[in-house]
Chain A
Amino acid sequence: MDKLKISEQRIIQTITTIITNGYIVGFMKGKIFTGNSKFICVPGLNCYSCPGAVGSCPIGSLQAVLGGRKHNFSFYVLGFIMLFGVLLGRFVCGFLCPFGFLQDLLHKIKLPKIKVPKRIDKPLRYLKYAILLIPVILLPIFLTNQYGMAQPYFCQWICPAGTLEGGIPLLIKNEPLRETIGFLFNWKMGILVLIIAVSIFIYRPFCKYICPLGAFYSLFNKFSFYQMNVDKLKCNGCKTCEKQCKMNVKITKDINSVECIRCGECKKACPKGAITSGVYLEGTVGVTKTNEHTFHQ
């Protein structure tokens, strides 16, 4: 049963990655998809310059609108992010994000794992909110050129997904693009290599500390329709779930914490079957007693 549950997450991650990057011809020709579906934002961090991408990255789109001449606020992109957030919260991170999937796979490599000390881990968790606020929102609005336009600062200087999904496959197939490689590409490759290497030893470092999209979705974790729940009547307080949680969530106190990516590892670890998850249409959940809520699993 455990193995089946693990494979469920991997299956969903694989399917989502394939669906959102389904333009296989793009990889073969070194060109990106130019169809109309690209006006729709996908839930995960998925670069629209990936040759296979059939939708748009919400973070890239947000910067494109904010950094354009016409608008200083993007109802459209925020609407998409709110929609995914209120429906699923950080379930998107756990199941629907291709870059989260990559980090999961890297962490499977059998090498010693590192647990970041609390005094470093805790303040670093706030970094993703600063990244959301400064390079994703404020700089594209205020740091503009003489035409009132701004660069997508996060994509340009930080995002490793763009380098991996867009940069590498496009540069492999395009000689003219390869000739333009300079400091910026080397900088971004450095970030990508660093995150790949760290992901082997630390669970999802990009999601924990850097990802502005995860930061956004985390704000919805307590309000989303998809919720985690601990049944206090069944829970014996053994904290096996907390020992198992790689995101270091205090499950018995705050299971729908901003850091929970709804991976379901706690649910599998619980010897009492006290942890459930699903779509709750009525009431709120978290740490409750049985039969208090309408629950559709």
Chain B
Amino acid sequence: MAQMTMIQAITNAMATELKNDENVLVFGEDIGVNGGVFRATEGLQEEFGVDRVFDTPLAESGLVSLGLGLTLEDYRPVIEIQFFGFLFEAMDGIAGQIARHRVRSGASKQTPIVIRAPFGGGVNTPELHADSLEGLMAQTPGLRVVIPSNPIDAKGLLISAIRSNDPVIFLEHMKLYRSFREDVPEEDYEVEIGKASIKQEGTDITLIAYGAMVQEAMKAAEELAKEDVSAEVIDLRTVSPVDYDTLIDSVKKTNRAVVIQEAQRQAGVAANVVSELSERAILHLEAPIKRVTAPDTVYPFTQAESVWLPNKDDIIERAKEVLDF
């Protein structure tokens, strides 16, 4: 065990797989000598050499499609997009090509690609750096979309993603990169993609969250406990596909749920979770499921982000509406 921040756990996962499998390549903009703008690839080029860990020319569309091409020679690219707000530049490469590569080939080709990118609000970035665009990815068949909320999960999920023969979008919330440390096993281990994690058991209401919103949900649960409300908190960890079995089991017990996402309200992951739970578990529900989200605007320029971003108070307010229904 070693104390690690989430970003250190991510670096550690890449180093682990670079060691385990000579086909793994890590590349992106400024990820070599510079170690990435957040230092997620710190030291990797030094340890594994410029043939396996390398800088690319500046083009997001170029680097994801370079990855697709490299899979034909059995390489396993782990690609960094510097900020996920730059996704739009790479949209065809990801959604139009990588996501369809396997099915287009009649399953005669695999797509062992991981696309990692920082995202998320609350850290004063300029425009198109903080946006939560996981909903666009979750609506794209052919991809898995993973969003860790802590160092232990981040390492295990990233190792699973790199070992997956299907493409994985791996989104790292910037606010979580260095917000806390925990003991992370030094050996290699996988965390199964597509499995949610129950962060805290409870009996009165289920709070479903992912990414940085897991912390807000935990804070909300703590305050609700003071009012004798027992909240179960579930971290989705994978937003496509969603682990509905775990969610339905929880709702059967609590009969009430709030779904929390940092992204805007329109469409998106939370809307999907609510609709699936309504279809599959309506007879277990005592109240409508509510959502806590950001409003339907673009990510705000930095000055307004504290009001724009959902927080524990928004969660408590919605939870009480559901409890008092």
Decide if A and B are genuine partners: no
Task: List residues of chain B with CB under 8 Å of any chain A CB.
Answer: none
